[in-house]
Structure 1
Amino acid sequence: MKVTQEKLPASQIGLEIEITPESTQQTYEQVIKNLAKTVNIPGFRKGKAPRHILLQQLGSIRIKAAALEELIQDGIEKAVKQESIAAIGQPRLRSSFDDLINNYEPGKPLTFMATVDVEPEVNLTQYTGLSVQAEEIKHDANRVDEVLEQERQQMATLIPVEGRAAQIGDVAVVDFKGVIAKAEDADPAAEPEPIPGGDATDFQVELQEDKFIPGFVSGMIGMNPGETREVSAQFPDPYVNQELAGKPALFTITLKELKEKELPALDDDFAQEVSDFETIEALRASLEERYQKEAEDKTKANKQEALLNEIVKHLEADLPATMIDKEIDTMLTQTAIKLSQQGLDVRKLFTEDIIPQLRERSRPEAIERLKRSLVLQEVAQRESIEVTPEEVQARVTELLAQYPDEDVDEDRLQAVVENEMLSEKIIDWLLEHSTVELVPEGSLASKEEETATTAPETEAETAESTTESEE
């Protein structure tokens, strides 16, 4: 069998395969024998019909098509093996199958074209000495106080209020009924339109502006228990119910009870109630350490992201369709598992009409993920970076100890841990051999927005200058 190779875009190898006359004849005859054993022809037992009747009954096109399918599949497999090609994915026929049927003559050579995907050739032009900027996330010193205050609010005791009107921070028990406010030119005799779900009895609302639609809470300030008041409010836009978005509303509110919160003291008893710590100082220290580590982890993640974004720019690799499609499959599978774990019906979300759209939307991210993976693999190979079995096993043992009651596939866990640890080692190595300038949080995002805003103006100026030069 004669095979000619051709290098094609997207890491494909083109194959021109010539099947010998002996093979085209032998396969054709074998197909006729196999069909004769399975086809029912009236007046003859299976396998006993004369050849010319069998050919007449089946038709030459059907027999040629069956023979061609075998010749093509067998020919590609042998060609890949003969040429020692490390193919990935399924080979594809480049020649027209209809043309092959028309030109196929048993006992004569058969030539057809096919392609196979192979691993891309990777060229990483630079991966050390890079300079990037990353946003530094600093720990907010007020966060501990805010978290402790939230816990106090949740543990608050409600005490009935007497002798004063409602004020911000109180908890009110109300009956209310809401309607869409009439426009100025509306018919005065027309019945107001009720708000769907806009009424309640014995409804408890905390008097904070962000607890209800704008105007509802502020309109209640100053009310006394037993008082009824009409309050104007405005649905925000956008709003969950788009039919109500931006519309004015009128609520009739009756204040039935008024309560205020009695907050627990921030002392050791409080710490023991909300945590495993004995003292409030220990609880504060633990929260401080946790949020400080969160800030450091986010900063490190920003540094890694910035560096990987820069290194990928120095990668030259022509990704084959097989790799991209496989990565998209992985991404969609991961998404489906997450949605299923959230209790959603994946079959209703991933319909035949939606899947092609999801695949197309996922394509850019899949390509980016593949490029990053190739970068890390190339760096690891060039710099001989690896993790030892002992390191992996130690981490696996640690994770298993954290989830003693979980049914864990240890082989799968070991593979995941090894991949994660290796990636961490490679990225840490890259960070050591590059320069990362830390900048204030939000500054890079501001630059991106500024670039996006000014880019159209720059293009317009370019177009204008081009027009002037042509004139």
Structure 2
Amino acid sequence: MKVSQEKTPKSQVTLTIEIPADKSKQAYEKVIKNLAQTVRIPGFRKGKVPRPILLQRLGPERIRAEALENLVQDTVMQAVKEQEIDALGNYQIEPGIDELLNRYKPGEVLIFAASMDVPPEVELGDYKALEVKAEETVYDPEQVDRFLADQQSKVAALVPVEGRAAQRGDVVVVNYSGRLMVDGEVSTEVIAGAEATDFQLELEPDKFLEDLIAGIEGMNPEEEKDILVSFPEDYAREDLAGQQAQFSVKLLEIKEKELPELDDDFADDVSRFETLAELRADLESQYQKQAENATNASIEGAIAQELLKIATIDPPETLIQQEVDMTIRQTVAEMEQYGLDMKTILNADMMPTLRENARPEAIERLKTSLALEEVARRESITADPAAVEEKIKGILEQLAGQAIDQDRLREFVTKDLVENQVLAWLRENITVELVPKGTLNPPKSEAEPEETTVEVEAMPTAEEE
């Protein structure tokens, strides 16, 4: 058997294989021999079927097809081993199997090509000379005060109000119904989901449609009013985004919040801490850690971006598809954490679109991972076995009772630890400049602040802007 090897684009290797005449004949004869010993044909004992009868009953085409399949599989595997190729996934043959079958004549030379994905070559520039800028998130002590104020508001007592109109900060009870404006006229049909009775609404920004909140402000109990509302262009319901509607509102009741005192009793009621000082200290620690984590994430993201700029990587399709699978699984897991039943949402029709949308992110993640692996190889950075075992143990405890592929888990954990070590090594060996948050990635608008989350045991999770 003669084999020649050629590197082709997209990290593939093509093997041109020439099968000698005697081997192509042997493969054919072997299939006939095996079939003669296993096939049952009426009138003949098993293993005693004459060759002409076997060929007549089964047909030479079927025998040639089986012989060719065995021949291709065996010779490709042998060629891969001889050429010491680290093949990924399956291989593709050229010409296709139907054309190859037409060419295959037992006892004659057969030539075909087999292409397969291989690990990509990673070319890196001078990564030690990288200079990156990253945004620094600074802990703001006022975050604690805002969080506590938000918790006060959540547990506040609602006290009925008399003798004044509704104002910002109140909680009102209303009946309302909304109808779209069509060519300047109010539609007769109520918008689906835009009708309610005895609806309790807090007159605060981002609690409801701003135009509706502004319209209710100043109303008195039993007053009725038509309020013109403009739905934002980015409204969640696409059928309403950018539309105008008229809401008919009747104000039934006004309540105001009576906030509890910020003291030890408050801390004991809303958290696991007995004193306000302990609660504040815990919140400060969480916000400081969040700021530190955000800064580290910014640095690592900046390093990864700059590293990709000096990397030349042509990842094979096999690895891309594996990364797409991983990206989709992570997305599904995140959505399920929010309570969504992804089994009812995902279907065969939407999977091609989902995979196509995930592809760009998957390719960038894959290239980043390959670049970090190359740095690890060049700098001899490896995972500490003890750290690997410790992390695996923690994951297994979290997933107790679930079926886990131990080999894949170990591979994942090792890879993750190495990548983290490489990022830490790069951070120490390149130039990193920290700039104020918002310098590199300005917020879209002041009305869209970045949110963070803190947790206090025995207290609902709250979002701090």
TM band (smaller chain): 0.7 to 0.9
- CA gap of 1:261–1:333, structure 2 versus 1, over 3 A, is closer
The letter of the residue matching 2:78 is K
- CA gap of 1:74–1:265, structure 2 versus 1, over 3 A, is same
Residue 320 (structure 1) aligned to one of 316, 321, 330: 316
- CA gap of 1:87–1:394, structure 2 versus 1, over 3 A, is closer
Q: Which residue of 1 aligns with 2:13?
A: 13
Q: Which residue of 2 aligns with 1:375?
A: 371
Larger displacement relative to structure 2 (237-246 or 283-292): 237-246
Does residue 1:201 correspond to 2:197, yes or no? yes
Q: Please tell me whether the aligned partners of residues 14 and 113 of structure 2 are also in contact (alpha carbons under 8 angstroms).
A: yes
Normalising by structure 1, we get a TM-score of 0.82
- Distance, in Å, in 2 between the alignment partners of 1:335 and 1:182 is 39
Q: Please tell me whether the aligned partners of residues 165 and 222 of structure 1 are also in contact (alpha carbons under 8 angstroms).
A: yes
Q: Please tell me whether the aligned partners of residues 179 and 187 of structure 2 are also in contact (alpha carbons under 8 angstroms).
A: no
- Distance, in Å, in 1 between the alignment partners of 2:335 and 2:129 is 41
Per-residue CA distance 1:89-140 (angstroms, 9 max, x = gap): 2122123434433332222222222123222233323221211111222223
The letter of the residue matching 2:359 is R
Does residue 1:273 correspond to 2:266, yes or no? no
- Distance, in Å, in 1 between the alignment partners of 2:243 and 2:15 is 66
- CA gap of 1:80–1:396, structure 2 versus 1, over 3 A, is closer
In the TM superposition, residue 298 of structure 1 has moved relative to its aligned partner by 0.8
- Distance, in Å, in 2 between the alignment partners of 1:191 and 1:445 is 43
Q: Which residue of 1 aligns with 2:449?
A: none
- Distance, in Å, in 1 between the alignment partners of 2:316 and 2:144 is 50
Larger displacement relative to structure 2 (387-396 or 124-133): 387-396
- Distance, in Å, in 2 between the alignment partners of 1:167 and 1:107 is 95
The letter of the residue matching 2:225 is E
Q: Which residue of 1 aligns with 2:128?
A: 128
SS in 1 for 2:91: strand
The letter of the residue matching 2:272 is D
- Distance, in Å, in 2 between the alignment partners of 1:418 and 1:293 is 25
Cα RMSD between the aligned structures? 3.3
Does residue 1:257 correspond to 2:253, yes or no? yes
Larger radius of gyration: 1
The letter of the residue matching 2:108 is K
Q: Please tell me whether the aligned partners of residues 234 and 246 of structure 1 are also in contact (alpha carbons under 8 angstroms).
A: no
In the TM superposition, residue 151 of structure 1 has moved relative to its aligned partner by 0.3
- CA gap of 1:78–1:215, structure 2 versus 1, over 3 A, is closer
SS in 2 for 1:445: coil
In the TM superposition, residue 18 of structure 1 has moved relative to its aligned partner by 2.0
Per-residue CA distance 1:388-408 (angstroms, 9 max, x = gap): 22334455667788x6x9547
- Distance, in Å, in 2 between the alignment partners of 1:255 and 1:338 is 40
Larger displacement relative to structure 2 (426-435 or 337-346): 337-346
Larger displacement relative to structure 2 (382-391 or 149-158): 382-391
Per-residue CA distance 1:333-366 (angstroms, 9 max, x = gap): 3334444555545455443333333333333322
Equivalent pairs: percent with the same residue?
47
- CA gap of 1:318–1:108, structure 2 versus 1, over 3 A, is same
Q: Please tell me whether the aligned partners of residues 231 and 242 of structure 2 are also in contact (alpha carbons under 8 angstroms).
A: yes
Does residue 1:384 correspond to 2:380, yes or no? yes
What stretches of structure 1 of length at least 5 have no aligned partner?
449-471
Normalising by structure 2, we get a TM-score of 0.83
Larger displacement relative to structure 2 (124-133 or 47-56): 47-56
In the TM superposition, residue 253 of structure 1 has moved relative to its aligned partner by 3.4
Q: Please tell me whether the aligned partners of residues 227 and 249 of structure 2 are also in contact (alpha carbons under 8 angstroms).
A: no
Larger displacement relative to structure 2 (167-176 or 127-136): 167-176
- Distance, in Å, in 1 between the alignment partners of 2:324 and 2:178 is 48
The letter of the residue matching 2:127 is Y
Does residue 1:55 correspond to 2:59, yes or no? no
Per-residue CA distance 1:134-162 (angstroms, 9 max, x = gap): 12222233221111110000110111223
Q: Which residue of 2 aligns with 1:351?
A: 347
- Distance, in Å, in 1 between the alignment partners of 2:289 and 2:348 is 44
The letter of the residue matching 1:84 is E
SS in 2 for 1:443: coil
In the TM superposition, residue 72 of structure 1 has moved relative to its aligned partner by 0.7
Per-residue CA distance 1:69-102 (angstroms, 9 max, x = gap): 1111111111122233222221221234344333
What stretches of structure 2 of length at least 5 have no aligned partner?
445-465
Residue 280 (structure 2) aligned to one of 284, 300, 305: 284
Alignment of 1:374-453 (within 5 A): 374-394=370-390, 406-407=400-401, 411=406, 416-446=412-442
Q: Which residue of 2 aligns with 1:104?
A: 104
The letter of the residue matching 1:332 is I
